[in-house]
Amino acid sequence: MKKSVVNLKTKIEILIYHKPVGEICSSIGTKKNTSVYESLPPRNEGKWIMVGRLDVNTSGLLIFSNNGDLVQKLSHPSSMIERNYLCRIFGNPTKSQIDNLLNGVEVDGKRSSFDKLISINKKSNAQNTWYRATLHSGRNREVRKLWESQSLQVSRLIRIGFGPIKLPENLGSGQYKTLDKNEIKKVMKTVGLED
């Protein structure tokens, strides 16, 4: 009779979720807001662990994994992972405001800046301006606070990328998808956890 082998090394899974505005990044919802976890598929073993968070008014890419080491590596500032956002700014930022945001300003007592800011879909008479923003840190409400440091208001904020993971255009708000083997390999390589 053949002995059955117990697999002690659980297969790493990564799930990406398109968070809608209004959902909260907490394990339990409130009367007012549902939790992002309520939209995820249940797990047979272990649990989904979230990589970072998005505030209630921010939508876009959220990442979950069943592997704590991977989540820790992806979340930690020392990994220097690029985060990409689409920001809709009320008004028209001046060149000096943009320069300040790229050169660095003080946010919550720490120096902070965007790595890149690219203006998109600019119409001269528009009330809002869209920017593609990139930064390497992900402190609490950092993107909004950076813009606010220049007296500019963010009217919409969407996270569209996190390291090698991009928010697919065909992944609707409130939908999720699991990454395949090759996509997971790419993420593991980014944080130096290749098998």
Mean pLDDT score across all residues of the chain: 88
Listed residue (130, 153, 159) closest to 58, CA to CA? 159
Q: Domains, the chain, ranges and CATH? A: 14-76+168-190 (3.30.70.580), 82-162 (3.30.2350.10)
Binned at pLDDT 50, 70 and 90, residue 95 comes out as: very high
> For the residues of the chain, what is the DSSP string, one character each?
-PPPPP--SPPP-EEEEEEPTT-BSSSS--SS--BGGGGSPP-SSS--EEES---TT-EEEEEEES-HHHHHHHHSGGG---EEEEEEEES---HHHHHHHHH-EEETTEEE--SEEEEES--TT-SEEEEEEEES---TTHHHHHHHTTT-EEEEEEEEEETTEE--TT--TT-EEE--HHHHHHHHHHTT---
- State the pTM of this model: 0.89
Binned at pLDDT 50, 70 and 90, residue 193 comes out as: confident
Catalytic residues: 55
Residue 192 confidence (pLDDT): 83
Q: Give the CB-side neighbour count of residue 158, counting CA atoms within 13 A.
A: 17
Q: Which residues pair with 125 in a beta bridge?
A: none
The predicted-structure confidence for 100-134, as pLDDT tens digits, reads as follows 999 999 888 889 999 999 999 766 677 889 999 99
Residue 4 confidence (pLDDT): 46
Residue 7 confidence (pLDDT): 47
Binned at pLDDT 50, 70 and 90, residue 10 comes out as: confident
Binned at pLDDT 50, 70 and 90, residue 92 comes out as: confident
Asked if 159 and 61 touch (Cβ cutoff 8 Å), the reply is yes
Asked if 12 and 188 touch (Cβ cutoff 8 Å), the reply is yes
The predicted-structure confidence for 137-191, as pLDDT tens digits, reads as follows 767 788 999 999 999 999 999 999 999 999 999 999 999 999 999 999 999 988 8
Could you tell me which residue, 52 or 195, shows the higher pLDDT?
52
Q: Give the CB-side neighbour count of residue 27, counting CA atoms within 13 A.
A: 4
Residue 150 confidence (pLDDT): 95
The predicted-structure confidence for 21-79, as pLDDT tens digits, reads as follows 999 998 888 889 999 999 999 888 889 999 989 999 999 999 999 999 899 989 877 77
